[in-house]
């Protein structure tokens, strides 16, 4: 969990989530406001610089986390660029470059890239727990946030269960051949479904025992000196937007 | 000191699938005492605990808080659950949030306390279990023993009068068990009533004021650990004896009496001390 690791160990871990959220939001606005591919690229560059140089997320780790999304972006850019033509005049398939659309495609891709870096900024500097409590303060529906909290927690519990079960299966040669692997995989799924069921029941009991009657309520984390951090984030965020709009 | 705080009177419980988990179970827990509940797997310890907190309702018989029957209305259950804190066996199935502080705040928030009071209680509870330093770590990066302590803090933050712990020692190494015993001792010192299910006879013998041995949903024996755990039928049921007690007994058979004003050693260290003071007495003319 590289994202996790960064969120908990970066230099800006103690900066109020509201400030980081605001900056990231401004970054996204700037990405949409950018009127040329060049200014969108600049926004992306500044946001990743803030993450790498400011928050101190190692550049290599940053790249590793961003790679899947970048590949996805590249693939969609290419698919916009090249259009296949079925059933042309002579019945074959022809491919041609969308030359006239080139600038539009560049614009869209660069904007997406800027948005990606804005999201990465938040994800790599702020633990999910803080993000959820920030969203709670932004009055997002409780049910949604409770679901996020439980899913996030369950993710780790389940990945541990998967790890344990697969280890136990491999120890008994469960994955020694393709046929055995399929069998073991079936066993894993069956085992996990039972575990999910049992765990959800146990969680419900535990909630009852602690006097719960519906919504999951937690005390949000406290951050000192949020006023200064938030105004700092607002100023730099607005500068980012202004830059994106004014740059030709 | 000897006033009953919680008692079960002829409680029976049958799970929906037909398993008769409790069978005319009667027992009493006194205020401010330490109770160890023993019994083989499936004896009904967990089921009994779920009754103490009002999660399960008896199919027959009833429970008493002090001298009044439990009130199973919504508000009655709220009161009961704020008085009786229940810590389950598996930490992963009772931690809701990925943040230690958030999870500990869950109970007191449910009590409807103000943020300020909740914050104070969370810090107090974390301190009581020695987890203040790890409070900013995500739950999934904690060790098993640390997760267990977070679970206890989550209950302590509700400031209950009774804390019920289901097999808290299971899965802990020797050092963690010792730390854990220290936490329990602190709680007892603060006047809390503590009920612990355990398979550790030596721990029960050394720690508890009262031992309750369960067998197939009923109470087989109940009383001071020194009496109960040396009973023949209890030993047959549990398949073992507390080592310290057995050594004292064997020594008395060969004429070495470790009793000091009628007090027999209850822990390994007390036993060693008694033996060495006995040898010293032998050697002085
Ligand atoms: N949710 C359940 N549904 C049906 N039977 C159960 C359930 N939980 C426990 N039992 C059964 O009730 C009996 C007592 O179990 P339990 O209270 O968990 O014992 P202990 O905690 O002493 O090991 C056992 O026979 C067990 O199989
Ligand atoms: Mg049990």
State pLDDT tens for residues B184-240.
999 999 999 999 999 999 999 999 999 999 999 999 999 999 899 989 999 999 988
Write out the residues of chain B at the interface with chain A, using a CB-CB cutoff of 8 A.
50, 53, 55, 78, 81-82, 85-86, 88, 90, 92-99, 101-103, 105-111, 115, 118-119, 122, 137-140, 154-155, 158
Question: Does A202 lie in the same domain as A143?
Answer: yes
Query: Does residue A116 fall inside a structural domain?
Result: yes
- Min Cα–Cα distance to chain B from A188, Å: 19
Tally of structural domains, chain A: 2
Nearest to B151 by CA among B189, B198, B97: B97
Question: Does A19 lie in the same domain as A77?
Answer: yes
Query: Does residue A131 fall inside a structural domain?
Result: no
Residue A87 region by backbone torsions, left for phi larger than 0, else alpha for psi between -120 and 50, else beta: left
Residue A183 region by backbone torsions, left for phi larger than 0, else alpha for psi between -120 and 50, else beta: alpha
Question: Does A239 lie in the same domain as A163?
Answer: no
Return mean pLDDT, chain B: 91
CA B17–ligand 1 middle distance (angstroms): 11
Query: Does residue A79 fall inside a structural domain?
Result: yes
Q: How distant, in Å, are the alpha carbons of B45, B58, B63, B178 from that of B20?
A: 13, 11, 18, 36
Task: Answer yes or no: do A202 and B90 touch at CB < 8 A.
Answer: yes
Q: How distant, in Å, are the alpha carbons of A200, A211, B235, B239, B268 from that of B232?
A: 42, 41, 5, 10, 23
| Average pLDDT of span B83-105 | 89
Which atom of ligand 1 is least distant from the CA of B17?
Answer: 4
Residue B223 region by backbone torsions, left for phi larger than 0, else alpha for psi between -120 and 50, else beta: left
CB atoms within 10 A of CB B183: 18
- The structural domains of chain B, ordered by start, are 4-225 (3.40.50.300), 242-285 (no CATH)
Question: What SS3 class is residue B77?
Answer: helix
pLDDT band at A63 (very low <50, low <70, confident <90, very high): very high
> Tokens at residue A220, please?
């949000």
Query: Does residue A215 fall inside a structural domain?
Result: no
Q: What tens digit of pLDDT does each residue of A64-110 get?
A: 999 999 999 999 888 887 776 666 556 566 666 666 678 888 888 99
For residue A78, the model assigns a pLDDT of 85
Distance of CA A176 to the CA centre of its chain: 35
CB B194 within 8 A of CB B36: no
Question: Does A186 lie in the same domain as A83?
Answer: no
Dmax of chain A from CA atoms? 74
Q: Which residue has the higher pLDDT, A160 or B110?
A: B110
Give the list of residues 6+ apart from residue A178 with CB closer than 8 angstroms, or none. Answer: none
Query: Does residue A216 fall inside a structural domain?
Result: no
| Average pLDDT of span B235-261 | 86
| Average pLDDT of span A11-26 | 92
Residue B217 region by backbone torsions, left for phi larger than 0, else alpha for psi between -120 and 50, else beta: left
Residues with C-beta less than 6 Å from any ligand 1 atom = B 15, 17, 19, 21, 39, 41-47
For residue A88, the model assigns a pLDDT of 56
Q: Which of A158, A164, A206, A213 to mutate to test the interface with B (most CBs of B within 10 A)?
A: A206
Query: Does residue A217 fall inside a structural domain?
Result: no
Query: What percent of chain A has a predicted confidence (pLDDT) above 90?
Result: 36
CB atoms within 10 A of CB B190: 10
For residue A43, the model assigns a pLDDT of 93
Question: Does A170 lie in the same domain as A115?
Answer: no
Task: For residues B136 and B121, give the distance between their C-alpha atoms in angstroms, rounded to a whole number.
Answer: 16
pLDDT above 90 for B284: no
Question: Does A109 lie in the same domain as A6?
Answer: yes
Query: Does residue A231 fall inside a structural domain?
Result: yes
Question: Does A159 lie in the same domain as A56?
Answer: no
> Tokens at residue B131, please?
């987890």
Which atom of ligand 1 is least distant from the CA of B45?
Answer: 22
Question: Does A105 lie in the same domain as A9?
Answer: yes
Question: Does A181 lie in the same domain as A62?
Answer: no
pTM of the model: 0.82
For residue A162, the model assigns a pLDDT of 87
Question: Does A177 lie in the same domain as A58?
Answer: no
Find the domain containing A229 and state its range: 2-126+222-246
- Min Cα–Cα distance to chain B from A82, Å: 45
For residue A87, the model assigns a pLDDT of 60
pLDDT band at A29 (very low <50, low <70, confident <90, very high): very high
Q: What tens digit of pLDDT does each residue of B148-166 get?
A: 999 999 999 999 999 999 9
Question: Does A120 lie in the same domain as A226?
Answer: yes
> Tokens at residue B43, please?
């004896």
Task: Answer yes or no: do B101 and A208 touch at CB < 8 A.
Answer: no
């Amino acid at each position: 969990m590289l994202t996790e690791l960064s969120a908990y160990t970066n230099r800006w871990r103690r900066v109020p989530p509201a400030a980081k959220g605001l900056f990231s939001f401004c970054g996204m606005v700037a990405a949409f406001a950018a009127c040329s591919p060049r200014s969108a690229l600049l926004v992306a560059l500044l946001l990743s610089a803030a993450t790498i140089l400011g928050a101190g997320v190692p550049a290599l780790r940053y790249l590793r986390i961003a790679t899947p999304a970048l590949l996805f972006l590249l693939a969609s850019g290419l698919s916009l660029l090249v259009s296949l033509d079925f059933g042309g005049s002579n019945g074959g398939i022809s491919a041609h470059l969308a030359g006239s659309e080139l600038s539009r495609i560049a614009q869209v891709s660069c904007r997406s890239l800027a948005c990606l870096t804005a999201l990465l900024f938040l994800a790599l500097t702020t633990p999910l727990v803080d993000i959820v409590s920030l969203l709670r303060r932004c009055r997002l529906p409780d049910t949604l946030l409770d679901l996020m909290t439980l899913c996030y927690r369950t993710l780790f519990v389940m990945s541990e269960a998967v790890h344990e079960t697969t280890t136990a299966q491999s120890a008994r040669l469960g994955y020694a051949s393709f046929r055995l692997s399929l069998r073991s995989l079936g066993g894993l799924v069956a085992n996990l479904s039972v575990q999910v069921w049992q765990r959800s029941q146990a969680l419900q009991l535990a909630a009852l025992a602690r006097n719960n009657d519906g919504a999951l309520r937690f005390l949000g984390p406290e951050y000192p000196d949020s006023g200064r951090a938030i105004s700092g984030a607002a100023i730099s965020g607005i500068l980012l937007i202004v830059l994106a709009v004014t740059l030709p | 000191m000897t006033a009953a705080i919680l008692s079960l009177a002829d409680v029976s419980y049958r799970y929906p699938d037909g398993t008769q988990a409790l069978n005319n179970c009667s027992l009493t827990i006194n205020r401010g005492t330490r109770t160890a509940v023993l019994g083989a797997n499936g004896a009904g310890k967990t089921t009994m605990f779920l009754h103490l907190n009002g999660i399960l309702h008896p199919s027959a018989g009833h429970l008493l808080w002090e001298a009044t029957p439990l009130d199973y209305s919504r508000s009655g259950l709220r009161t009961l659950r704020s008085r009786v804190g229940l810590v389950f066996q598996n930490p992963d199935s009772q931690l809701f949030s990925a943040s230690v502080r958030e999870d500990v705040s869950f109970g007191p928030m449910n009590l409807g306390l103000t943020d300020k009071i909740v914050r104070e209680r969370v810090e107090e509870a974390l301190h009581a279990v020695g987890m203040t330093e790890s409070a900013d770590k995500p739950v999934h990066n904690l060790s098993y023993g640390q997760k267990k302590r977070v679970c206890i803090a989550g209950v302590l933050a509700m400031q209950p009068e009774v804390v019920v712990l289901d097999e808290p020692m299971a899965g802990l190494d020797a050092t963690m068990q010792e730390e854990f015993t220290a936490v329990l001792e602190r709680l007892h010192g603060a006047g809390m009533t503590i009920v612990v299910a355990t398979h550790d006879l030596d721990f029960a013998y050394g720690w508890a004021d009262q031992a309750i041995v369960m067998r197939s949903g009923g109470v087989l024996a109940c009383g001071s650990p020194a009496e109960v755990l040396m009973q023949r039928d209890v030993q047959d049921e549990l398949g073992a004896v507390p080592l310290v007690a057995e050594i004292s007994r064997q020594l008395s058979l060969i004429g070495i009496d470790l009793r000091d004003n009628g007090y027999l050693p209850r822990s390994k260290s007390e036993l060693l001390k008694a033996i060495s003071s006995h040898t010293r007495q032998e050697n002085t003319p």
